[in-house]
Chain A
Amino acid sequence: MLRVSKRFLTKNAAVKKTALYDLHVDLEAKLVPFAGYEMPLLYPNIQNHVQSHLWTRKHAGLFDVSHMLQSRLMGTDAIALLNLVTPSKFSKLQEGSGQLSVLLNDQGGIIDDLIIVRERNGFAIVSNASRRDEVSRFISQQIRDRLPGCNIVWEPIENKSLIALQGPTASRVLKEFVEGDLNKLFFGQRQVFPLKDHSDININVMRGGYTGEDGFEIAINESVSPDFASDLLANEQVKPIGLAGRDSLRLEAGMCLYGNELDENTTPVEASLKWLIAKDRRDLAENRLKFNGYDKIIDQLKNKTNEWVRVGFKFSGDTPSPAARHGATIFNNDGITEIGQVTSGSVSPCLSINIGQAYVKNGEHKIGTKHLVQVRKKLFPIEITRMPFVPTHYYKS
């Protein structure tokens, strides 16, 4: 353990800090390197992991997600790029509305999962920190090679913090700070609000998040983000939550983590993200309207030819058991035939049972199917389960 930790603790000049870094230090966060940034894992003097998780489900958690890549897509042909690299439909999307989507490579594999919001002059995008370089390279290359001569500009947004406020009391807290009606901002919508006490400061608020709870992701200038975050934290409903809580919350919500559930060899059909493939983009005659990997993805969609399917599972035995983690093998009930692999797993702080996500062979994925998972040398009974594991509480119209 120490051998590894020593390597990671070595001072690395290239490790970046978000604008909220000093705040994390003041709060005595346990900091870890994550996607090139030094990020809070936990705030041990405030809460332990399970407490921070449960707090977010009952009250409001504040997450610094400034390490994520915020970018903007503009130009008269921006839609042409989105039609090429995503299976979503953006042409009818209203200004201020957004959705989850995926960037697809030529084979239909997922380059990244991301949120894309229509703005007046283009699209605002939030994608994964760990995929920053790959996404930049991919988008530039697609514009250059596939859409030459088109009017498309893509650029990362600098100097903006991204703060997530998540949990059932998040809206009550945020209302105190913004001028305007948050009740009219629904899940998936994004809107600019001036701050009540500082009408010269605008924050860009998107309703949604990565926990399954109602909540917001707030883009705000780095010059004022530390003060804003401190003000939010002064509310007794709000506590800072680190990456540890972020991961267990998203797992319970059945959401994918790039690198665990998603990679460049996995299609949206395999990842059980069929709902991302827009209904009227499934039957296209014209080649120029088809998205990357169209033939493979549509074949998987219509003929169920995909070898693998992402599923949720829970342990079904009565005795306490170790969790099945990333890489654990799933067997048929015979205990011999390998049929899948765990991609994420841990005990669920809300349900107090072991849960996880996995890829299993197509046909072994039906809800209620019983399998076995190997943890170290022992096999434990599991059951394929519907996701999310805990109900979501989105604020929908």
Chain B
Amino acid sequence: MRILTKPTSLRSITPLRLSLRRQSTSVNTLNKNELPFTHTSTGPKEVKYTADHEWISLHPDGTAFLGITKYASDALGDATYIELPEVDREIDANESIGSVESVKSASEVYMPLKSTVTGINEELENTPQLINTDPQGKGWMVKFQVEESENNGKIMNELYTLEQYENFLKTAEE
């Protein structure tokens, strides 16, 4: 997820979105009671994180869910609007698939894998606050069918594990 709106001047709202607080280590875990986990009864085969604060849960049938981490949702503040892609859209690796807006900022959300959109979380249209209350569960954003390819496998391998992501957050703040 990357911030969209460009700095305009020192006084503009630009600096308002830059202060990120450190989180305790457990908050970025996937919620085990919601669809991104329960899509497969035994849970996803992998959960990975990006340096831009997306999480992705990949299931054995090639279905993947994507959302933003708790860390990111706290940093962005109360969500006012979530922009989501059209179903059936084909996504290139690292393509923007939507955005999360608060009163003060807009941040674009990216899908790291080449895939096809197979569903969106329609609840977010009327209840964007789910992004804040449960970003790694009820606040999931997009469902994809991920094509099995060498490149996708390589990307998936290079993404952060939960532990690596938490370490990344710590280093980034020091």
Contact = CB atoms under 8 A, between A and B. Distances in A.
A128 B20 CA distance: 26
B46 interface: no
Interface in A1-16: 1-2, 4-6, 8-9
Interface stretch (A203-211, A219-227, A289-297, A321-329): A321-329
B81 A50 contact: no
Contacts of B173: 6, 9
Nearest to B80: A347
A325 B103 CA distance: 10
A5 B18 contact: yes
A56 to B, nearest CB: 13
B20 A5 contact: yes
A12 to B, nearest CB: 12
B5 A320 contact: no
From A2, A4, A35, A243, name the one whose CB has the most chain B CB atoms within 10 angstroms. A2
Interface in B1-55: 1-6, 8-13, 15-21, 51-53
Interface string B66-95: 000000100101101101000000000000
Nearest to A130: B11
Contact of B104 (A130, A247, A260): A247
Contacts of A35: 10-11
Given A2-B20, A9-B173, A247 B8 contact: no
A94 interface: no
A49 B19 contact: no
A5 B125 CA distance: 29
From B8, B108, B125, B172, name the one whose CB has the most chain A CB atoms within 10 angstroms. B8
Contacts of B63: none
A291 B12 CA distance: 29
B9 A130 contact: yes
B107 interface: yes
Contact of B53 (A1, A48, A376): A1
A66 interface: no
Contact of A347 (B13, B51, B99, B101): B101
B15 A260 contact: no
B19 A41 contact: yes
Nearest to B2: A1
A32 B103 contact: no
From A9, A31, A346, A349, name the one whose CB has the most chain B CB atoms within 10 angstroms. A346
Nearest to B20: A5
A259 B81 contact: no
A244 B103 contact: yes
A351 B83 CA distance: 20
A221 to B, nearest CB: 26
A326 B106 CA distance: 11
B125 A320 contact: yes
Interface in A120-159: 128-130
B19 A31 contact: yes
Given A1-B72, A48-B78, A321-B81, A34 B15 contact: yes
A322 B9 contact: no
B3 A1 contact: yes
B102 interface: yes
From B9, B78, B83, B125, name the one whose CB has the most chain A CB atoms within 10 angstroms. B9
Contact of A260 (B12, B72, B80): B12
A145 to B, nearest CB: 27
A189 interface: no
Given A30-B19, A320-B81, A53 B107 contact: no
A327 to B, nearest CB: 6
A6 B172 CA distance: 7
A257 interface: yes
A243 B16 contact: yes
Contacts of B72: 1
Interface of A: 1-2, 4-6, 8-9, 30-36, 41-42, 48-50, 53, 128-130, 243-244, 247-248, 257-260, 320-323, 325-327, 346-347, 349, 376
17 contacts: A6-B172, A6-B173, A9-B18, A9-B19, A34-B15, A50-B103, A128-B11, A130-B10, A244-B104, A247-B13, A248-B104, A259-B10, A260-B9, A260-B12, A322-B99, A323-B81, A326-B8
